[in-house]
């Protein structure tokens, strides 16, 4: 990667470098999955991660001042660089908020970023968990999804799991990608600790849509036993029988 002064003009040279990394077949494939209104260059995630690592070293926090929102990849790079640049945790949270509120436009912006926080989560377990809980109260559904996917990626374990289930239960959204995040979280939690999730299901207040998606995700998982899949299928039928309508 060339070294830039990270002015607005230099950013244009960097953008041309991004275009040179385009994989047209991947672009066509990924566009269909994203359901995004943004243009997609078509850069594979491992390549973007490597580019973010280079940017963190060469540009550091100067990158944030010039980063644009014009394409799917540019937005994602903001989050990936934020996860790489050395800084105090409180300062990182500021960039995390900017990314979550202003840059996240689709599920991949959310999920790829959250998965990149492994080192930050390991060093700041309680503090990041508290911040993620705050996201679940927001009106912006993408911010809510960021909170859920942070929990899914880093907190489906003791001593956090029980509170994760409680907070997930309190999320009431008809936004598809929030509901899918809830379902994915619950299915992953079941694979890790079926007894605790089983107990939680006895008194949950989830919508039928989330319950149905959760059972679907669990049945698709290789980590859930055939016996548990059969039980969940029967459990789903009892939820319908209680008067909830499957839409």
When pLDDT is averaged across residues 42-64 and rounded to a whole number, the result is 95
Q: What is the pLDDT of residues 65-78, one digit of tens each?
A: 999 999 999 999 99
Query: In which residue are the tokens 């940017």 written?
Result: 55
Q: What is the pLDDT of residue 9?
A: 81
DSSP H/E element including 229: helix 226-241
Segment 81-116, tens digit of pLDDT: 999 999 999 999 999 999 999 999 999 999 999 999
Average the pLDDT over 12-37 and give the result: 95
The tens digit of pLDDT for each residue in 134-151 reads 999 999 999 999 999 999
In the prediction, which pLDDT does 3 show? Answer: 55
Kindly list the distances between the CA atom of residue 162 and the CA atoms of 106, 165, 186, 189, 196, in Å, as whole numbers in the listed order: 28, 5, 11, 10, 8
Report the mean per-residue pLDDT for the chain. Answer: 94
Q: Where are the alpha helices (DSSP H) in 159-220?
A: 161-170, 176-192, 194-201, 208-220
pLDDT of residue 245 exceeding 70, the answer is no
Residue 8, pLDDT above cutoff 80: no
Helix intervals (H) in 67-155: 72-82, 89-98, 107-115, 118-123, 125-135, 141-154
Q: Is the peptide bond before 93 cis (omega within 30 degrees of 0)?
A: no
Q: Could you tell me the pLDDT band of residue 7, with boundaries at 50, 70 and 90?
A: confident
Work out the percent of the chain whose per-residue pLDDT is above 70.
95
pLDDT, position 205: 93
Of 157, 158, 145, which is closest to residue 184 (Cα–Cα)? 145
The domain limits of the chain are: 1-116
């Amino acid at each position: 990667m060339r070294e830039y002064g990270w002015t607005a003009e230099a950013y244009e040279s960097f953008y041309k470098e991004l275009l040179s990394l385009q994989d047209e077949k991947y672009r066509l494939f990924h566009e269909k999955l994203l359901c995004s209104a943004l243009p997609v260059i078509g850069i594979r995630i491992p390549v973007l991660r490597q580019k973010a690592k280079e940017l963190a070293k060469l540009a550091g926090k100067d990158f944030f001042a010039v980063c644009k929102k014009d394409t799917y990849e540019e937005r994602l790079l903001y989050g990936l660089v934020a996860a790489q640049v050395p800084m105090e945790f409180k300062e990182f949270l500021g960039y995390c908020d900017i990314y979550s509120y202003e840059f996240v436009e689709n599920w991949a912006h959310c999920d790829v970023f959250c998965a990149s926080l492994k080192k930050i989560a390991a060093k700041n377990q309680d503090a990041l968990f508290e911040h993620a809980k705050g996201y679940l109260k927001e009106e912006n559904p993408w911010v809510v999804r960021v909170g859920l996917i942070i929990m899914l990626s880093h907190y489906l374990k003791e001593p956090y799991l029980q509170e994760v289930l409680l907070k997930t239960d309190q999320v009431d959204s008809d936004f598809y990608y929030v509901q899918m995040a809830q379902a994915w979280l619950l299915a992953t939690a079941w694979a890790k600790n079926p007894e605790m999730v089983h107990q939680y299901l006895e008194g949950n207040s989830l919508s039928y849509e989330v319950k149905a998606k959760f059972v679907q995700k669990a049945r698709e998982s290789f980590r859930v036993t055939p016996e548990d899949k059969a039980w969940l299928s029967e459990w789903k039928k009892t939820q319908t029988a209680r008067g909830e309508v499957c839409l």
